[in-house]
Structure 1
Amino acid sequence: MLEGLKFPTYEAQTDRPLISLVVPVYNEEDSVAHFAAAINGVIAKSWPDADTAPRFEIVFVDDGSRDTTAAVVCAMCSIDSRIKLVALSRNFGKEAALSAGLKAATGDAVIPMDVDLQDPPELIRPMVDLWQSGAQIVNAKRVDRSQDSFLKRTTSRLFYKTINAIADHPIAVDVGDFRLLDRSAVAVLNEMTERCRFNKGLFSWIGFRTETVEYARPARQTGSTKWRVSRLVALALDGITSSTTFPLRVWTMIGATISLLAFAYAAFLIIYTMMSGGDTPGYASIMVAVLFLGGLNLFSLGLMGEYVGRIAVQVRGRPLYIVSTTVGF
């Protein structure tokens, strides 16, 4: 179980900082080696003087892959001591896998990345430079998403507008998990106990001094996306319910407004009946009112159910993930 697993604590052995790249993977046997090779090439090009370059480690978090991803990473660990593996006991989802990687990372700064190289490794140097200049979080903002599909761009834009309109702490627009986090920020994130995890919201909530670098998002170079529509919808609901209680409050206001209108209409009917006699009730008007109010009730109950369900998950207190194997630590 997670509680019984002890990850090593980083102790500085040189004056050069250690940068941890955290890479959640799921069925990416064809991508992990390509990713590691690309990272090594970019690091060598970005810091030609090896004596002054930061030290790096790559922490792959295998999220219950059904292919040979874990075996490929294990083989890479035996070749390169900078590569490490955290294998989860089953598929817990990317948010949980990323949290496991943040927990396992030992660096002075941590950079979550996608294995498909849509998070350009070339940004590592400018992010590290801003961090060494005093920034505690460095966001990577996507200013050009033309390589993404029209549907993905549209739904993403709608999601950011919706959540930032109602969230207690707005999240950075067009900034994914790709960012640099100082050790102090990672320590705070590791202390958070949310079971329904929405990391982008947590990154925004913790604050700290933040800088931004911008980039054009490239096309995916290897593999295929593992995100299904149902998972994206679930992630969006987690994001909204974990970032604000506004959807609950708004139904209080809607209910109060409808109640006031209903009382006013009832008073009108009483006075009208007393003065001129009652009309024969209309079937259509009754059905419209019943269906309208019934639909509102069901929708509001479903919304409250989303919050209650997440409360139940939190109260159970089960671990966010379970680590089955670690290699290279």
Structure 2
Amino acid sequence: MTFNATYSVVIPVFNEEENLHELYKRLAQVFEQLDSKAEVIFVDDGSKDSSLKILDELNQKDPRIHYVSLARNFGHQIAVTAGLNYAQGDAVIIMDSDLQDPPELISELIGQWRQGYHVVYAQRISRSQENWFKKLMAFGFYRILNRFTDVAIPTDTGDFCLMSREVVNIINSMPERNRYIRGLRAWVGFPQTSVKFHRDPRFAGEVKYTFRKSLSLAIDGIISLSRKPLKMATYLGLTTAVIAMIMMVLVLFWRLTDAPNQLIGYTMITIAIFFLGAVQLICLGILGEYVGRIYDEVKQRPIYTVKKQVGFQKMERQSK
């Protein structure tokens, strides 16, 4: 590993006009303390506000600021992927633009990278101004994810991390469309470690990751990294068959012995219909998630399209 390094900071942006100036100010202060040159790659993910205009102003003000404008909103993970495709640094830092990921932590991430770690992820030990429901969901998600996936994904970590050039090259070579970056970086391997931090509240603006988007990301993470949900559907079917056999034996016993039981009749039929219907729909849903991802892969469409790129005159990049 060379220590005459260039650092790339990849930041996806979606309607963050209220945060960009403060983010740039704090990044510039951090860059002054680094031991090598750095670049910032903003990826505008189809913003509807003045985010793109602000990025253009920052680029004219500071040549270290580059940006890519996607042709429409492709989603957070795809925006991060686009940034990784354009990043040139020996160490690549991913962070969000809402200042919940403190730029001041970059120096600590780099310090661990210089110790020989290829992935240094920021691990949250507290979440400021988040309600109990969101904290509970986050706590449960990471534990369930590790139960289902075939690779160990560190708990309480997001996309905020540093990755070496070797790891970034491997992730960039992966052709899959439904991407879960924190899972891919764990799957790649190489020495990994964590840096603990307290997560700040948003500096300004509205939360972009709604419950629906968070749930979709969780499903992507599980489906893309494991076949265990398919096995679960099989086990669920076998369990249903066993329950049905037990109930059949009980019904025969009650009929033959004339034992009075309120479960015999319409109640039993109704419960059985709803139970079997629920099991079938769950299994179909699990199967559909995998089939849908196969459909996305075989189409071989680009995972994003670029409307504009600024600051990459010496680079030739295409959407992948």
Task: Give TM-score scaled by structure 2 length.
Answer: 0.89
Q: For residues 30 and 160 of structure 1, what CA distance do their matches in structure 2 show?
A: 30
Counterpart check, 1:18 vs 2:39: no
1:261, CA displacement in angstroms? Answer: 4.2
1:170, CA displacement in angstroms? Answer: 2.6
Match of 1:43 among 17, 31, 39: 31
Q: How does 1:1-329 map to 2 (within 5 A)?
A: 16-44=4-32, 46-47=33-34, 53-263=35-245, 266=248, 282-329=265-312
| Higher mean C-alpha deviation, range 255-264 or range 142-151 | 255-264
1:226, CA displacement in angstroms? Answer: 1.6
1:216 match: secondary structure: strand
1:258, CA displacement in angstroms? Answer: 2.6
Gap change, CA 1:311 and 1:42, over 3 Å in 2: same
Instruction: Show CA shifts across 1:106-149 (max 9, x none).
Output: 10110001112211122111211111121111111111213323
2:277 match: secondary structure: helix
Instruction: Show CA shifts across 1:181-209 (max 9, x none).
Output: 00000000001112111111111111111
Q: For residues 63 and 123 of structure 1, what CA distance do their matches in structure 2 show?
A: 24
Gap change, CA 1:198 and 1:272, over 3 Å in 2: same
| Higher mean C-alpha deviation, range 181-190 or range 210-219 | 210-219
| Runs of 4+ with deviation above 4 angstroms | 263-273, 275-281
Kept in 2: contact 1:147–1:217 (CA 8 A): no
Letter in 1 for 2:75: G
Aligned length: 309
Q: For residues 193 and 259 of structure 2, what CA distance do their matches in structure 1 show?
A: 69
Kept in 1: contact 2:26–2:104 (CA 8 A): no
Cα-Cα RMSD = 2.2
Kept in 2: contact 1:63–1:94 (CA 8 A): yes
Letter in 2 for 1:242: S
Gap change, CA 1:218 and 1:269, over 3 Å in 2: closer
Kept in 2: contact 1:136–1:208 (CA 8 A): yes
1:171 match: secondary structure: coil
Instruction: Show CA shifts across 1:205-235 (max 9, x none).
Output: 1111112111111222233222222212211
Instruction: Show CA shifts across 1:53-98 (max 9, x none).
Output: 2110000000011122112111211221110011100000000000
1:265, CA displacement in angstroms? Answer: 5.2
Kept in 2: contact 1:16–1:55 (CA 8 A): no
1:256, CA displacement in angstroms? Answer: 1.8
Gap change, CA 1:269 and 1:121, over 3 Å in 2: closer
Name the structure 1 match of 2:315. none
Q: For residues 112 and 30 of structure 1, what CA distance do their matches in structure 2 show?
A: 20
1:35, CA displacement in angstroms? Answer: 0.9
Identity %: 39
1:106 match: secondary structure: coil
Letter in 1 for 2:150: D
Point out where structure 1 has 5 or more consecutive residues left out of the alignment: 1-13, 48-52
| Higher mean C-alpha deviation, range 147-156 or range 166-175 | 147-156
Q: For residues 27 and 253 of structure 1, what CA distance do their matches in structure 2 show?
A: 44
Task: Give TM-score scaled by structure 1 length.
Answer: 0.87
Structure with greater contact order relative to length (CA < 8 Å, sep ≥ 6)? 1
Kept in 2: contact 1:57–1:83 (CA 8 A): yes
Kept in 2: contact 1:73–1:85 (CA 8 A): yes
Q: For residues 35 and 24 of structure 1, what CA distance do their matches in structure 2 show?
A: 12
